[in-house]
Amino acid sequence: MENNDQVQLIIPTSSHYEEVAQTTIAHLGLRSGFSLKEIENLRAVMKSTTDMFFSIHEWEKPLHINFLFSLKKMHVTVTSQTTRTVDNIIEPITEFKNFVSPRVSELVVNIEKSWVVFEVQATDETS
């Protein structure tokens, strides 16, 4: 894999579809050269991301998930494509950031635009 590849996924904001996002990120992580331990980390980060979006009922638009990946690197953007500003969501956002921040190399959360961007890089470990 020399260049970046891109996959876009659109899922309803329903917990019935969170496994689709987790399976997608796991498969792309495998293609990108992530270890099995790192793939489980990717699945956990994606589950936390979808759970956070699903818990904020004002963001009840379909989730648009964009995976940009290359060898040992993945950049993921998740958005609900809404223009509504949301109040009283500090707790779910804080819990999300606390869980995800140590597991990714970069995390940006934009509450006003209802999107999350994270980047993960694989290590050279093969476990």
* C-alpha to C-alpha distance for 94 and 90, rounded to whole angstroms: 6
Percent of the chain with pLDDT over 70: 86
Mean pLDDT across 54-74: 85
**Residue 16 confidence (pLDDT):** 85
By the 10 Å C-beta count (0-12 exposed, 13-18 middle, 19+ buried), 32 is classed as: buried
Mean pLDDT of the chain: 86
Q: Is the pLDDT at 1 greater than 80, yes or no?
A: no
Domains of the chain from N-terminus onward: 5-121 (3.30.565.10)
